[in-house]
Amino acid sequence: MTTNQFLCEVCNRGFQREQNLQLHRRGHNLPGKLKQKTNNEVRKRVYICPEVGCVFHDPSRAGEDLTAIKKHFSRKHSRKKFSCDNCKKKFAVHGDRKAHNMFCAKKEYICECGTTFST
């Protein structure tokens, strides 16, 4: 597995081949010597929430998992279109409503006198 060992010193974009970096550097109008990527410069890709006011919009608080950020955005910032039939609580994700229904289902009890009541 190859790594991006050639780094652009302006935007830190990495390239596997020196020629690709040289072509990229033309866009910055930079001639000259190339910078080699060292092990301590390896950066992980992070995903931020697109909602500007959200705490996860800050790259220092961002997640490394795109799926987690998508679920966060859906749950916290999207329209909640699924509602519980019992308590009318709303959910953005159908699976969340389904899990909620397991605990919110009406339980009916019949008293010895015949009266029905629910919790």
47-98 residue pLDDT tens: 888 888 888 888 877 777 888 888 888 889 989 999 988 888 999 988 899 8
Task: Check: CB of residue 78 under 8 Å from CB of residue 49.
Answer: no
Output the pLDDT for position 118: 66
Q: Check whether 33 has a pLDDT greater than 60.
A: no
What is the mean predicted confidence (pLDDT) over 17-46? 69
C-alpha 86/C-alpha 82 separation (Å) is 12
- Reported confidence tier of residue 111, pLDDT bands at 50, 70, 90: confident
- Alpha-carbon distance values, 37 to 41, 106, 109 (Å): 6, 61, 69
